[in-house]
């Protein structure tokens, strides 16, 4: 039985608890959050009795956990994870790993210094595991469309939700929208392309949402739309189209991969995979499949991907598989978002060699 602690018991903390409840061989035993109301809600969501703490250090010292999920606000990750790395606890860290490249590198260095090879540290980039997206990645890797040349990701969705103390209304706390929200998508681009990018060019801003919201005398500065072009070697490229005032839409996310022999497209929330092969299919005449993973016991807020993530995380803890989403993956997903923000601020393409 793997005993979980959860640090940060807001919306995502509760989402993790509900997924762990559905796992075989795992249970939530301890929670930590400085906000009593959040702790109360999370404790009620747990399948069994839990101990609650106001401080993650007390949870860490309790001896009640084998693994810890860090789901506290983005700007707290560096200090919380740095403390937890000084233990033998296995860690699953919600995205983004940190709000800055420098802090991501700090955690990588601390993990290396700790030198605990048996300890699993996993970054929560769970979009990889949404069934339709996972199939798309598998098909692309297996050469279904040849060497991918272009990746296009569209997310048209609702505005940022309200969080405790409104922490997510400020880029200083989140890392900026293209780090906070979009690190998932940059991670997917790198998985499909099989390499790290070389250049980023972006345009974005805050056009509609949160314009009149003021907290503690500060006006919200969170971007609500952007286009981001991500260049890879040999002329291969990817693009993100993000709009957070577009909830009046049929599909929230569309991930497309195009190679010399065809096109793959994953659509969410319909969980549809569209496959078109050049020379065999034409516009309007392609293969369309609804992708269902019957092994997912809890769908939750992310199409079952968090459940799959926890299954794999537990399997890695038991020594049955390697870590699939590393601290380095977390660093690079943040770095591309940070490069996009710099590109917008400075009005120019940004080389990744400037960032990392």
pLDDT tens-digit map of 284-293:
999 999 999 9
**Which pLDDT score is estimated for 328?**
98
pLDDT band at 179 (very low <50, low <70, confident <90, very high): very high
Superfamily of the domain at 127-298+332-355: Dihydrodipicolinate Reductase; domain 2 (3.30.360.10)
pLDDT tens-digit map of 83-109:
999 999 999 999 999 999 999 999 999
Mean of per-residue pLDDT scores for the chain: 97
**Which pLDDT score is estimated for 192?**
98
**Which pLDDT score is estimated for 34?**
97
The domain limits of the chain are 2-125+308-323, 127-298+332-355
This prediction has a pTM of 0.97
pLDDT tens-digit map of 140-155:
999 999 999 999 999 9
**Which pLDDT score is estimated for 259?**
98
pLDDT band at 188 (very low <50, low <70, confident <90, very high): very high
**Which pLDDT score is estimated for 49?**
96
158-171: average pLDDT: 95
**Which pLDDT score is estimated for 110?**
98
User: In CATH terms, is domain 2-125+308-323 a member of 3.40.50.720?
Assistant: yes
pLDDT tens-digit map of 257-273:
999 999 999 999 999 99
152-181: average pLDDT: 96
pLDDT band at 208 (very low <50, low <70, confident <90, very high): very high
Angle formed by the axes of helices 305-317 and 131-141, to 10°?
70
pLDDT band at 340 (very low <50, low <70, confident <90, very high): very high
45-52: average pLDDT: 97
pLDDT tens-digit map of 230-255:
999 999 999 999 999 999 999 999 99
**Which pLDDT score is estimated for 11?**
95
């Amino acid at each position: 039985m793997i005993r979980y602690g959860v640090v940060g018991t807001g919306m995502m903390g509760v989402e993790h608890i509900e997924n762990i409840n559905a796992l075989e061989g795992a249970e939530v035993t301890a929670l930590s959050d400085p906000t009593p109301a959040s702790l109360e809600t999370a404790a009620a969501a747990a399948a069994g009795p839990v101990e609650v703490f106001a401080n993650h250090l007390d949870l860490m010292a309790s001896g009640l956990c084998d693994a810890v999920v860090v789901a506290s606000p983005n700007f707290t990750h560096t200090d919380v994870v740095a403390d937890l790395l000084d233990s033998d606890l296995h860690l699953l860290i919600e995205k983004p790993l940190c709000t800055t490249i420098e802090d991501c590198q700090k955690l990588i260095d601390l993990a290396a210094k700790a030198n605990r090879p048996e300890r699993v540290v996993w970054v929560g980039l769970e979009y990889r595991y949404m069934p339709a997206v996972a199939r798309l990645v598998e098909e692309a890797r297996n050469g279904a469309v040849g060497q991918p040349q272009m990746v296009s990701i569209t997310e048209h969705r609702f505005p940022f939700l309200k969080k405790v103390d409104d922490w997510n209304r400020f880029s200083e706390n989140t890392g900026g929208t293209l780090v906070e929200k979009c690190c998932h998508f940059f991670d997917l681009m790198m998985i499909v392309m099989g390499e790290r990018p070389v250049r980023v060019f972006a345009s974005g801003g805050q056009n509609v949402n949160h314009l009149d919201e003021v907290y503690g005398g500060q006006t919200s500065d969170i971007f609500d739309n952007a286009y981001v072009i991500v260049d890879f070697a040999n002329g291969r490229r990817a693009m993100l189209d993000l709009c957070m005032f577009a909830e009046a839409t049929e599909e929230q996310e569309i991930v497309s991969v195009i190679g010399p022999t065809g096109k793959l497209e994953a659509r969410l929330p319909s969980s549809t995979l569209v496959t078109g092969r050049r020379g065999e299919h034409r516009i309007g005449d392609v293969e369309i499949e609804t992708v269902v993973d019957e092994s997912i016991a809890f769908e939750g807020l992310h199409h079952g991907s968090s459940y799959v993530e926890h299954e794999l995380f537990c399997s890695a803890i038991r020594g049955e598989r390697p870590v699939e989403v590393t601290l380095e993956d977390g660093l690079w997903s943040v770095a591309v978002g940070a490069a996009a923000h710099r590109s917008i601020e400075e009005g120019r393409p940004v080389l990744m060699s400037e960032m990392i």
